[in-house]
Amino acid sequence: METLKDIIIRRIQKEGFITFEAFMDMALYYPDLGYYSSSNRTIGREGDFYTGPHLHPIFGAMIGKQLMEMWDLMERPVSFSAVEMGAGLGYLCKDILDYLQRPSQSSSLNQKKSDFLASLKYIIVEPFRHFREKQGNIIQHGSLNPIRPDSSEERRESDSRSLEKVTWVHSLQEAGEITGCIFSNELVDAFPVHLVEMEDELKEVYVAFDGKRFTEEKGAVSTDELVRYLNNSSIDLKPGYRTEINLRIYRWLEEITAALSRGFVLTIDYGYSAKEYYSDERTEGTLMCYHEHMLSDNLYERVGEQDITAHVNFSALDMWGERLGLTTLGYCPQGTYLIASGIDELIVELYADSPDYMAETAKIKGLIMPQGMGESHSVLAQYKGKGTPELAGFSLRNLTGSL
């Protein structure tokens, strides 16, 4: 059987060489053989990396809380769509719906949850069938770390209600006109990127094959968009400086703004502002690989078997979003965002009476503390519609001016 490596080599032999973006696209998404398109792929502790929802289900509860706030700020539309892109195994969806269905000691909060659920349409955009099946199983049969200790019968009833709330689509266009929120967690870092290096002028890095291994060759840029990207961002690279440029962000935002009639875009990922991304200290870019929770900088080994990722330039999301009609509402580290959004109150609500209170809070710290995801990950909120809504998550620290 022909391997993905064989297929890429054959393409290179036909074309001479390919852009790194084309290589990364095939390594991650080539039908049935790419890292994400393979049915063998899993995410979490059993896979090659884990994300916020794998660390603790309160992450999903906080996103559920955020969605309710957005619904409130939009004056409670009769139909509110929560559209998740890049849902992984479905844990975030599961934990969001768990929280919204969990009874609270506050009668007013219970009523608000009930009213919100009545208006909520949860849509997962997932092009890969194997992920859709895994997501359905997780949502129907429960998280590994459920938010509440229900009896099995109560859990089955809750899981059944959750599954009924979820609709799967292959693409954002298929979701139709959206009023609500389009959100993602660690999606944009998996977009294939162009690899460039500055010499006397900007050069692009291409992937070739010397008969034994993949090699790199530098040549003229494959598209003038790469030069315009740097110029529009006022980025001045010094000779020898190597970095990445993610042009797919613009096309992604085009799809989002075309689909979003009114509402929010919430992006959570690891990354920097342009000033930090292209700082003098970061001369080799941010590309890295994950395999069995080990980091590697060898981009050309284990083709299709390791994740390849690049940090997100949040300034590009801001710049292109504004161009396409989105207003940037807030940008800050994930830890600050969660604290400002009231994670301390939610910890008390969910775990104050738990015998494992200390153990739970220790896990939650990984979402908040600088040593964990609290500082490495950032949150960006954008809005399409009239006015400029204020989200609680950015009340402590809003760094939009740094973008």
pLDDT of residue 288: 92
Q: Which amino acid is at 369?
A: M
Q: How far apart are CA 387 and CA 25, in angstroms?
A: 38
Alpha carbon distance, N-terminus to C-terminus of the chain? 48
pLDDT at position 148, please?
45
d(Cα 391, Cα 70) in Å, to the nearest integer? Answer: 8
Rounded-to-10 torsion of CA 66, 68, 72, 75: 120
pLDDT for 31 equals 94
Spans of the chain below 50 pLDDT: 44, 47-48, 143-146, 148-149, 151
Q: Is the pTM of this model over 0.75?
A: yes
The CATH architecture one would assign to domain 4-393 is 3-Layer(aba) Sandwich (3.40)
pLDDT at 350: 84
Q: Which residues contact 122 (CB under 8 A, 6 or more apart)?
A: 81, 82, 84, 93, 96, 97, 165, 166, 167
- Quick: pLDDT tens for 70-83: 999 999 999 999 99
Give the C-alpha separation, 309 to 21, whole Å: 11
> Which residues, at least 6 apart from 57, have a Cβ–Cβ distance to it below 8 Å?
91, 94, 95, 98, 143, 145, 146, 147
- Percent of the chain past pLDDT 70, that is, above it, reads 92
At 144 the pLDDT is 39
Token pair belonging to 393: 């998550």
CA 99 – CA 119 distance, rounded (Å): 16
Length of the chain: 403
Interatomic CA distance for residues 229 and 210, integer angstroms = 32
Residue in this structure with the two tokens 């706030």, named with its chain if needed: 69
